[in-house]
Amino acid sequence: MSILFTIAVIALIFIVIFQIAKASEYVTLLRGEQKGLRQSNKINAWLMIVFLVLGLLGVWYCNDVYFGQTLLAQESASVEGERVDSMMWLTIAVTGIVFIITQIILFYFAYKYQQNDNNKVFFFPHNTKLEVIWTVIPALVLMVLIGIGLRNWFLFTGEAPREAMVVEITGKQFGWIYRYPGKDASFGKKYYKNIDPASNSLGIIWEDQLSHDDVVTEQTMYLIKGKPVKLVIGSRDVIHDVGLTHFRMKMDAVPGIPTTLWFTPKYTTKEMKEMTGNPNFAYEISCDQMCGNGHYSMKGNIEVVEQEEYDLWMAKQKPQYLVNFPDKDPSVKPAADSVKSVISMVKTVNKDKAQM
Amino acid sequence: MSHVAETQAAGVVAVHHDDHAHHEHHEHHETFITKYIFSQDHKMIAKQFLITGMFWAVLGGLMSVLFRFQLGYPEDAYPWLETILGKWAKGGRITPEAYYALVTTHGTVLVFFVLTAGLSGTFANFLIPLQVGARDMASPFLNMLSYWFFFIASIVMLSSLFVETGPFSGGWTAYPPLSALGDASPGSKTGMDLWIISMALFVVSSLLGGLNYIATILNMRTKGMSMTRLPLTIWALFFTAVLGVLSFPVLLSGFILLIFDRNFGTSFYLSDIFVNGVGALPNEGGSAILFQHLFWFLGHPEVYIILLPAMGMVSEILSVNSRKPIFGYIAMVGSLFAIAILAFLVWAHHMFVTGLNPLLGSIFVLLTLLIAVPSAIKVFNWLTTLWRGSIHFTPGMLFAIGFVSLFISGGLTGIWLGNSAIDIHLHDTYFVIAHFHIVMGVASMFGMFAGIYHWYPKMYGRYMNNTLGYMHFWITIAGAYMIFWPMHYEGLAGMPRRYYDYSIWESFKQFAELNRFISTVAMIVFAAQLLFLINFFYSIFKGRKVTSLNPWGSNTLEWTTPIRPGHGNWPGEIPEVHRWPYDYGKDGKEFIAQTTPVGEDESHH
């Protein structure tokens, strides 16, 4: 009922507007077309100035309200991200000045040069000097922006520092899987046909010795404050994207083609909670590439901690190899029935594979 | 308004041509079907494109209202949504499947059906023969086919909305593997088959049209109409057609490989894939990134296919209504040319974060930012065109001024995103949404509105209602800025695009109120477009009649035709052209039509 009512009201508004518009046209015709057009010309010219003033006020107001909610109000959480921020500030300055000047000129000219008996049209078809000026100046300014941009770009996409830790991150519909290389600092090989969602979500090849100390986790990735980290990014199904907005970085996760990204976290999560005054602050990994109907919920977390805390956490993690094959675990004494259960588990896993 | 008097004079000049009219053009008997349906008259085909485009604009706009509804009011349930959308809004909330289908279809339809077919389809068809002085297109038959391929493409796209698994929902860019695997997304099943078929038909339509436009502009100009005497609209439509002809086939090739991957087990784009609930796929060795190269090789020129016609029409309308020549005609043509060339060399700036070779990326940064130079030239030339003019604020003129404002606003943020070291942060956030909606979406829409208001008297022999036009303009420009300006701030917070719900995100949930505001404005602006529709269709039948041949006091050839030109445009001989189209305010004359011979005492410029 309320819907019908709303529709009726809207229709009524339309009819009223339409009738007014029609009537105003008749009035214009009655009073003489010239006079009517002159009047509406004046009104529109005034509206140009009104729009300009209200528009600029609106820009200021919008900034006033929302600037604090953007990341520009916060410091970058990565060392490299500071460069992104400084580039954005420079670009804001350049484009902001051009924006304000050209918009003012546009609407002011529109107002100033409205049709008027005193205005004589100036026949001005071209002027080479002017045109050269406004070709060369933008080109020069752009060269500066390009120069700074490319220097940073090569830093971001270049080799990670040698001391960087390496973490592998793999996207799947709809979540992230992390892998740490363990003590040997190398990942074991993997092959996607080995993937078993229950026991081997990455398809690691267990015959590869290097895989035996690889730690596989989900939900939260642990990183160390002040230590560069290189992410090796992959995907299990469709294209995803590792969006690290607080670190000012992102990179696609493409099935079959590994990509990399490196940065240096500057603050622990705890520090960020204090700095932002938000006790729930989290470094969230957002999927930034459309990946299916659950795209919006594909969330990961990064916990940046101090080295000691990281070491403690890492010590508690059990390599995936040992999770799958507890009998190989030197720290666990094989009890008779646990061996049995493992054997039966391996069997079912094999059966599953055969079915696939 | 002294130009009305001169309008009459120009009318006399045109009538004068009729005197020695010996009808070379034989009038054939036209039935309803040959006149309104399978018409080969470029003007009727233009109207067919326009009205089909308007149908899609309404539908595509309505889709955006629906998904904005979800973004603005994510936690509330509205039973009436279930009434109209059925299972796509179970319990009164739009489902994620429906949300993504709406976003995808909105993008596809607006980019291709509205702003390509509706914009360049309409105005290339309508203006090219009229402004170059031709009786019709080089091939009226191919021209008719071009429309009907578009029509079939529309039907197929429309039908995809009604299949059980839903329309395609993987984004208008249709990146595989998502678009290739029905098991990864239900929208990639039948919906995607229909989407590809529709798009393939659309490419055919676009090629038939484009080849025709090029052939007509190059070969069928009237006597005296050298290339440098063409109105800027025609130059813009010419480059648009060239861009389309060279880039659409690449898109089609990308689609064909996708069809093979989807249906025939090839691995062009697929490798190393394990789909939940299905298992590992046999495909190995393909590259998902290859599709993106093929797609954006069209995709970026497509942006200019959308924008250039608007630029051309705005140049023309600004000049006519400032009663002053366009400033820097040659620079305007040169910058169009530069943009057209560069359009082919910047596609990978959409792919900075795909793991692209950084050196290759850096070349694309350079070329991308270079586009700002011709764009800047255009803006400064438009501003100078207004300077010391005598501006008539017709609704067309208002929209042309609005176009310049939006083009500046949206163009400037391109300087941010084209720089890869900033893009690595802002890619796929709302900053991008704000950027391309302002510079390509709304700006081109404004160019289209400007064109419709300006050439409506030529199309239908009647005027649209001015008051409604003014209201339409002011509501739309204020609304467009209120919708898209704050999105920059969401983008600067890193808020990703294409999210159904932000409430679970600590980093992005602070914008709930802003999202509601944007959604509300979007609904109001959509309603304001209904004003335009009412005005458009009402005026076709009841609008004030055009009584003078040249109501705007314009120099170009279309205003030398009768008020309602028949098939063939000029009843007599096609007029001869003696000068460029921008002699406004020269030697104290308000305007001098292209058909006026150069006087002996005329000053040179």
Q: Would you say B269 and B288 are in contact if contact means Cβ atoms under 8 Å apart?
A: yes
CA distance B315 to B404: 10
For the segment A176-201, the average pLDDT, to the nearest whole number, is 93
DSSP code for A47 = H
Backbone angles phi, psi at B590, to 5 degrees: -65, -45
CB neighbour class for A185 (10 Å; exposed up to 12, middle 13-18, buried from 19): exposed
**What is the pLDDT at residue A355?**
47
Lowest average pLDDT, out of A30-34, A310-314, B59-63, goes to A30-34
* DSSP sequence for A262-318: EE-B-S-HHHHHHHHT-TT--EEEEE-S--STTGGG-EEEEEEE-HHHHHHHHHHPP
For the segment B53-60, the average pLDDT, to the nearest whole number, is 97
For the segment B205-220, the average pLDDT, to the nearest whole number, is 96
User: Does B17 score more than 50 pLDDT?
Assistant: no
Strand-pairing partners, residue A240, are: A253
Distance from CA of A286 to the nearest CA of B (A): 8
Strand-pairing partners, residue A178, are: A169, A217
Instruction: From chain A, pick out residues whose CB is under 8 angstroms from the CB of B362.
Output: 150, 153-154
Three-class SS of residue B424? helix
**What is the pLDDT at residue A118?**
76
pLDDT tens sequence across B491-508: 999 999 999 999 999 999
Lowest average pLDDT, out of A117-131, A271-285, B329-343, goes to A117-131
For the segment B118-147, the average pLDDT, to the nearest whole number, is 95
DSSP code for B352 = G
pLDDT tens sequence across B305-323: 999 999 999 999 999 999 9
Whole-angstrom CA distances from B428 to A131, B323, B425, B434, B481 are: 35, 43, 9, 11, 20
Q: Would you say B308 and B394 are in contact if contact means Cβ atoms under 8 Å apart?
A: no
Query: For residue B521, how many C-alpha atoms fall within 13 Å in the half-sphere facing its CB?
Result: 19
Whole-angstrom CA distances from A152 to A74, A149, A155 are: 20, 5, 5
pLDDT tens sequence across A331-342: 765 555 555 554
CA distance B205 to B117: 9
pLDDT-based confidence at residue B11 (cuts at 50, 70, 90): very low
Distance from CA of B15 to the nearest CA of A (A): 25
CA distance B373 to A138: 6
Pairing mode of beta strands A175-180, A229-235? unpaired
CA distance B550 to B561: 9
pLDDT-based confidence at residue A121 (cuts at 50, 70, 90): confident
CA distance B567 to A286: 58
For the segment B328-343, the average pLDDT, to the nearest whole number, is 96
Strand-pairing partners, residue A232, are: A168, A260
CA distance A322 to A319: 5
A349 touches chain B (CB under 8 A): no
Contact A62 B486 (CB under 8 A): yes
A135 touches chain B (CB under 8 A): yes
Helices (H), B20-86: 32, 42-72, 79-85
Lowest average pLDDT, out of A36-45, A294-303, B47-56, B164-173, goes to A36-45
Domain boundaries, chain B: 1-9+552-598, 38-222, 233-267+288-383, 393-543
**What is the pLDDT at residue B8?**
43
Q: Is the torsion defined by CA of A14, A19, A21, A22 positive or negative? A: positive
Instruction: From chain B, pick out residues whose CB is under 8 angstroms from the CB of A34.
Output: 1, 4
Q: Enumerate residues 45 to 104 of chain A having a beta carbon within 8 A of any beta carbon in chain B.
A: 45, 47-48, 51, 55, 58-59, 62-63, 66-67, 69-72, 81, 83-84, 87-88, 91, 94-95, 98-99, 102-103
List, edge to edge, every strand of the sheet that includes A240-244. A220-224, A299-305, A283-287, A240-244, A249-253
Helices (H), chain A: 2-30, 33-66, 81-112, 128-157, 269-276, 307-316, 320-324, 336-355
CA distance A182 to B334: 60
Distance from CA of B397 to the nearest CA of A (A): 10
For the segment A204-216, the average pLDDT, to the nearest whole number, is 94
Mutating which of A295, A301, A349, A352 best tests the B interface, going by the most B Cβ atoms within 10 A?
A295
pLDDT-based confidence at residue A1 (cuts at 50, 70, 90): low
Nearest chain A alpha carbon to B394: A41
Instruction: From chain A, pick out residues whose CB is under 8 angstroms from the CB of B272.
Output: 192, 236, 255-256
A177 touches chain B (CB under 8 A): no
Question: Taking Cα atoms as reference points, which of B429, B370, B415 lies closest to residue A90?
Answer: B415
Q: Would you say B88 and B166 are in contact if contact means Cβ atoms under 8 Å apart?
A: yes
Backbone angles phi, psi at B604, to 5 degrees: -95, 155
- When the pLDDT of each residue in chain B is averaged and rounded to a whole number, the result is 92
Which tokens is A58 given?
A: 């609106």
**What is the pLDDT at residue B33?**
83
Pairing mode of beta strands A220-224, A299-305? parallel
CA distance A250 to A267: 18
Mutating which of A102, A189, A230 best tests the B interface, going by the most B Cβ atoms within 10 A?
A102
**What is the pLDDT at residue B35?**
83
Q: What is the largest CA-CA distance in chain A?
A: 106
pLDDT tens sequence across B423-479: 999 999 999 999 999 999 999 999 999 999 999 999 999 999 999 999 999 999 999
Question: Taking Cα atoms as reference points, which of B132, B161, B126 lies closest to residue B42?
Answer: B126
Q: Would you say B455 and B394 are in contact if contact means Cβ atoms under 8 Å apart?
A: no
Whole-angstrom CA distances from B502 to A295, B74, B97 are: 11, 9, 16
pLDDT-based confidence at residue B19 (cuts at 50, 70, 90): very low
pLDDT-based confidence at residue A41 (cuts at 50, 70, 90): very high
A11 touches chain B (CB under 8 A): no
**What is the pLDDT at residue B440?**
94
Which tokens is B414 given?
A: 């391109």
Closest by Cβ to A243, choosing from B96, B489, B496: B496
Helix or strand run (H / E) with residue A186: none
Give percent of chain A with pLDDT exceeding 90.
74
Distance from CA of A38 to the nearest CA of B (A): 9
Between A214 and B2, whose confidence is greater?
Answer: A214
Which tokens is B334 given?
A: 């040169």
Kindly report the pTM of this predicted structure: 0.92
pLDDT tens sequence across B346-394: 999 999 999 999 999 999 999 999 999 999 999 999 999 999 999 999 9
Q: Is the torsion defined by CA of B227, B228, B232, B235 positive or negative? A: positive
- CA A327 to chain CA mean position, Å: 44
For the segment B153-166, the average pLDDT, to the nearest whole number, is 95
User: Does B2 score more than 50 pLDDT?
Assistant: no
Closest by Cβ to A255, choosing from B80, B177, B386: B177
Q: Is the torsion defined by CA of A318, A320, A321, A323 positive or negative? A: positive
Give percent of chain A with pLDDT exceeding 70.
93
User: Does B605 score more than 70 pLDDT?
Assistant: no
Instruction: From chain A, pick out residues whose CB is under 8 angstroms from the CB of B329.
Output: 125-126
Q: Would you say B369 and A142 are in contact if contact means Cβ atoms under 8 Å apart?
A: yes
Backbone angles phi, psi at B278, to 5 degrees: -120, -45
Contact B511 A197 (CB under 8 A): no
Strand-pairing partners, residue A254, are: A257
Strand-pairing partners, residue B545, are: B462
Q: Enumerate residues 311 to 340 of chain A having a beta carbon within 8 A of any beta carbon in chain B.
A: none
**Count of C-beta atoms within a 10 Å radius of residue B251:** 22
Lowest average pLDDT, out of A259-273, A283-297, B83-97, B192-206, goes to B83-97
**What is the pLDDT at residue B44?**
95
CB neighbour class for B350 (10 Å; exposed up to 12, middle 13-18, buried from 19): buried
Q: Would you say B292 and B285 are in contact if contact means Cβ atoms under 8 Å apart?
A: no
Q: Before A319, cis peptide (omega within 30)?
A: no
Query: For residue B79, how many C-alpha atoms fall within 13 Å in the half-sphere facing its CB?
Result: 3
